[in-house]
Structure formats: C-alpha cells, structure tokens
Amino acid sequence: MTLFEKIIARQIPADIVYEDDLVLAFRDIKPGAPAHALIVPKKVIPRIADAKPDDAKLLGHLLLKAAEVADKLGVKDSGYRLVINNGPHAGESVPHLHCHILGGRDLAWPPG
C-alpha cells in the first residue's frame, strides 16, 4: 500500500479537509506554502500518465473538488496553484496520483 492508501484507510493520521466517495484531501505535512493540501483519488492511479479514458469522470471530479478545497483553505479569491507531478524528475515521491493545492503567498513562475 502507498502512503496515500494508508491515509485513505485511516492507518496513518492526516489533517483531512475534505472527503467524499471518490477523493480525499488533507494538509501536506511539509507545506510549500501557507495553504498546502493534497487531493487524491481513492482509486489507485499511479500517476496521470497511467490514467485511462475510463478515469475521465474521476479526474474531472478531482479538479472540481480541488477548487472547493482551495476555497476551504481561504485562497479562492487571492489565487492558488494546482500541481500534478508525473515521474521522479517532476518531483513525484508517492506513486499515487495526487494534486497539490498551494496558495497563501505569491508563487513564482516558472516553478522549480
């Protein structure tokens, strides 16, 4: 099981900010911004490159709920960034698709 599967199964504690039947969102333990949460699908998809056409509805749901989580984090109006890493060179550390929601400060461009 990945770290995120263990969080979903409540085997590891997390500061959960949103949950429904399809996704779970929780605060990052090493935040890169004042507001930093991860939203993960409960279905295991290792990374976005492994998503299938059947996952389209889930991926859309993930993004729509990411916007709701950003609102819960208080960054809806000031702005926020959504980041999905794919592979080790992109910074992927857990092989379970997840979207970072970052905000609460000015975010530089380009990232990295």
Tokens 């550390």 — which residue? 93
pLDDT score for 87: 92
Model-wide pTM > 0.75: yes
| Domain assignment present for 75 | yes
Cβ density class 31-47: b for 16+ within 10 Å, e for less: eebebbbbbbbbeebeb
Residues of the domain holding 75? 3-103
Q: How many domains does the chain have?
A: 1
Residue 91 lies in a domain: yes
Q: Give yes or no for residue 77 having a pLDDT over 70.
A: yes
Strands, E, within the chain: which ranges? 16-19, 23-27, 35-41, 80-83, 99-103
- 108 lies in some domain: no
Verify whether residue 98 is a known catalytic residue: yes
Distance CA 72, CA 18 (A): 9
Say which DSSP state 12 is in.
S
- The model's pLDDT over 17-39, given as tens digits with 9 standing for 90+, comes to 999 999 999 999 999 999 999 99
Mean pLDDT of the 32-60 span: 97
Identified catalytic residue from 36, 96, 98, 100: 98
- Listed residue (10, 93, 95, 9) closest to 44, CA to CA: 95
In a domain, 95, yes or no: yes
